[in-house]
């Protein structure tokens, strides 16, 4: 009997001990979970019930100088379904169909066990609002912004493009990407156990947006330049064509066209077409470059306005090479006649008086073989051998624009320096950038303002960083610049630039017909040319400078006088009248030596 009781007590003790052990282990587990795994479990729960949404900021607009929108972003939506929480698929299908979205139930099964099945893309906000009003369970929306360019091809190379991630890849879109993009904001949505959103963090999307960028480009001036240039481009079946219009007093670019171009809103198949020829392509300028040697020689007193030069009857031998002139001048010619008839021999003799060192120094002073610093990506530096490596033909050939490579932007900037009484300005296409904070500039804005030479401007509560004109240096004196302007006026009045004349305005400018290098034969081609004309209106007090370049024109004539100059005249007349430039009396623009 005693043994049985002992066995019973022993069994009870074991049972109690077992129960206590289990409870102790559970308690220890609970303590471990509550104390040591608390943070980990808490994070896991948060991930289950909350969902982070990245609110991509609306990209800022790009505007022309008069406030016309050139690039903007519009909000579009992706509609998706969560099959796990759809309660009435037939109703979902009907509502979506009424808004132009077709959904087949069997197609949902193709995605497997997922909570995200996209069924429509790029849906307008109005349609999304109508669907949201139906309060359908299992229907979700994701927003994104699509970049739009209302002007199509117009300004394609200036504006550039954005990538699939919305970031700028070319043009102003790239240069001002940080300002245009703004800052993304992360919001949270709380879901219940069935995945339904029960709390959604509200955000005012008007406060989440990039800054607007205003350009110096005038949309109408750009249209004029592009329309006239395209006509010539197609007429002469040219390889490329460029037109730049600049305000010489400020350096601001009013228009910049590079052909062939592209539609910024379309798909780009050939990446080469993204290249902005006006700032990226290097070409031998030919006779438009003659202003450099003439200006330098006049500035240093190596030649006088009244000097004459013997032109060797059109043939000049240098180191076994014969340089020829196309004109019919016999004997001597004045400085003005040399420019009017674009005499290479006359220009060589001017350069020889100048000397290699002084000539090279003035080439660099005019900005050649240097980046202009324009606020666009892809600018080229050009080509120019160091003066120490020049051979016996370098000085003669460079004097008339062979053996040197420049960009269209460098060339027009040099002409603008003459137009601006000898002062070289920094070219720019940005007028202002809207600031993110109207009360205080960010550190980034302060840096940009320091580098780019900007100032703050507040107008009706809108704070902006305004890009002021920036002087680079004085190239020649105002008197020298005035003499060169008179020479350029004579070129149009009496010389090779006659076809650049426009009614009501005086014009000064210079033609350029340059043979292209045949890299296979390693000599200058007798077939392919680059023709150009750079001129200013009015001639003696210029308000605009215009450059036209046509690469490899096809047809009976390849001379700049018959190809490039008429294009300049058409653009100059329409632009001058549109801008309201006062017509000048030719008799009042006489030059006194």
What secondary structure does DSSP assign to 439-477, as a single string? SS--HHHHHHHHHHTEEEEEETTEEEEEE---EEEE-S-
For 253-295, the pLDDT digits (tens) are: 999 999 999 988 878 888 899 999 999 999 999 999 999 999 9
Residue 293 has a pLDDT of: 97
Decide: 19 and 27 in contact? Cβ < 8 Å: no
Residue 46 has a pLDDT of: 61
CA 11 – CA 477 distance, rounded (Å):
117
Decide: 393 and 356 in contact? Cβ < 8 Å: no
Question: What is the topology classification, in CATH, of domain 219-269+284-428+471-589?
Answer: Beta-lactamase (3.40.710)
Give the number of other Cβ atoms within 10 Å of residue 7's Cβ: 10
User: What six digits make up the tokens of 376?
Assistant: 């666009």
User: Architecture of domain 62-100+110-215 in CATH?
Assistant: Alpha-Beta Complex (3.90)
CA 385 – CA 381 distance, rounded (Å):
12
User: In the chain, what are the domain boundaries?
Assistant: 62-100+110-215, 219-269+284-428+471-589, 430-467
Decide: 575 and 548 in contact? Cβ < 8 Å: no
Residues near 156 by beta carbon (within 8 Å), at least 6 away in sequence = 149, 171, 261, 262, 263, 264
74, β-bridge pairs:
146
What global pTM score does this model have?
A: 0.82
Residue 271 has a pLDDT of: 86
Residue 420 has a pLDDT of: 98
DSSP secondary structure letters along 358-399: HHHHHHHHTTTTS----SSS-----B---GGG--TTHHHHHH
Decide: 228 and 567 in contact? Cβ < 8 Å: yes
Picking from 496, 171, 444, the residue whose alpha carbon sits closest to that of residue 329 is 496
Point out the residues of the chain with pLDDT beneath 50.
198-199, 202, 438-452, 458-461, 589
Picking from 273, 261, 268, the residue whose alpha carbon sits closest to that of residue 234 is 261
Decide: 246 and 214 in contact? Cβ < 8 Å: no
Q: Give the residue carrying structure tokens 């008429």.
A: 566
CA 248 – CA 342 distance, rounded (Å):
24
SS3 label, residue 311 = coil
């Amino acid at each position: 009997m005693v043994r049985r009781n002992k066995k019973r007590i022993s069994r009870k003790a074991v049972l109690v001990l077992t129960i206590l052990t289990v409870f102790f282990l559970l308690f220890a587990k609970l303590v471990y979970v509550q104390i040591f795994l608390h943070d980990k479990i808490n994070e896991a729960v948060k991930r289950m019930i909350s969902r982070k949404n990245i609110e991509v900021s609306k990209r800022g607009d790009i505007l022309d100088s008069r406030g016309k929108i050139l690039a903007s972003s519009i909000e579009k939506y992706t509609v998706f379904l969560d099959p796990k929480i759809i309660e009435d698929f037939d109703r979902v299908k009907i509502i979506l169909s009424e808004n132009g979205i077709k959904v087949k139930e069997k197609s949902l099964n193709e995605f497997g066990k997922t909570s995200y099945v996209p069924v429509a893309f790029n849906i307008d906000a109005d349609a999304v609002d109508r669907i949201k009003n139906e309060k359908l369970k299992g229907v979700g929306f994701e927003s994104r912004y699509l970049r739009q360019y209302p002007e199509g091809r117009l300004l394609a190379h200036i504006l550039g493009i954005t990538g699939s991630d919305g970031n700028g890849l070319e043009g102003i879109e790239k240069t001002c990407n940080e300002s245009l993009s703004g800052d993304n904001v992360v919001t949270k949505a709380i879901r219940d156990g069935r995945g339904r959103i029960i709390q959604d963090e509200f955000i005012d999307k008007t406060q989440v947006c990039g800054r607007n960028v205003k350009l110096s480009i005038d949309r109408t001036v750009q249209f004029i330049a592009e329309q006239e240039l395209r006509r010539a481009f197609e007429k002469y079946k040219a390889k490329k064509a460029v037109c730049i219009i600049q305000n010489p007093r400020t350096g601001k670019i009013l228009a910049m066209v590079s052909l062939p171009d592209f539609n910024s809103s379309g798909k780009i198949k050939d990446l080469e077409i993204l290249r902005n020829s006006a700032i990226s392509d290097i070409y031998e300028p030919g006779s438009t470059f003659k202003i450099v040697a003439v200006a330098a020689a006049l500035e240093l007193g190596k030649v006088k306005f009244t000097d004459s030069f013997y032109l060797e009857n059109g043939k000049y031998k240098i180191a076994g090479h014969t340089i020829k002139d196309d004109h019919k001048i016999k004997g001597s010619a004045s400085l003005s006649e040399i420019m009017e008839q674009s005499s290479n021999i006359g220009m060589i003799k001017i350069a020889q008086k100048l000397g290699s060192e002084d000539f090279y120094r003035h080439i660099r002073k005019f900005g050649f073989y240097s980046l202009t610093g324009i606020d666009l990506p892809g600018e080229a530096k050009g080509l120019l051998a160091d003066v120490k490596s020049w051979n016996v033909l370098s000085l003669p050939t460079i004097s008339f624009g062979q053996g040197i490579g420049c960009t269209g932007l460098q060339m027009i900037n040099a002409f603008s320096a003459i137009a601006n009484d000898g002062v070289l300005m920094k070219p720019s296409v940005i007028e202002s950038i809207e600031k993110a904070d109207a009360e205080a500039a960010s550190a980034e804005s302060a840096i940009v303002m320091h580098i780019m030479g900007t100032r703050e401007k507040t107008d009706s509560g809108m704070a902006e960083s305004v890009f002021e004109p920036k002087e680079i240096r004085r190239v020649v004196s105002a008197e020298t610049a005035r003499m060169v302007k008179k020479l350029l006026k004579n070129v149009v009045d009496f010389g090779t630039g006659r076809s650049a004349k426009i009614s009501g305005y005086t014009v000064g400018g210079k033609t350029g017909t340059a043979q292209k290098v045949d890299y296979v034969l390693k000599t200058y081609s007798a077939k392919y040319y680059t023709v150009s004309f750079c001129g200013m209106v009015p001639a003696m007090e210029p308000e605009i400078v215009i450059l036209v370049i046509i690469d490899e024109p096809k047809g009976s004539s390849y001379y700049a006088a018959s190809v490039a100059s008429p294009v300049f005249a058409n653009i100059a007349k329409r632009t001058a009248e549109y801008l309201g430039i006062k017509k000048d009396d030719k008799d009042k623009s006489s030059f006194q030596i």
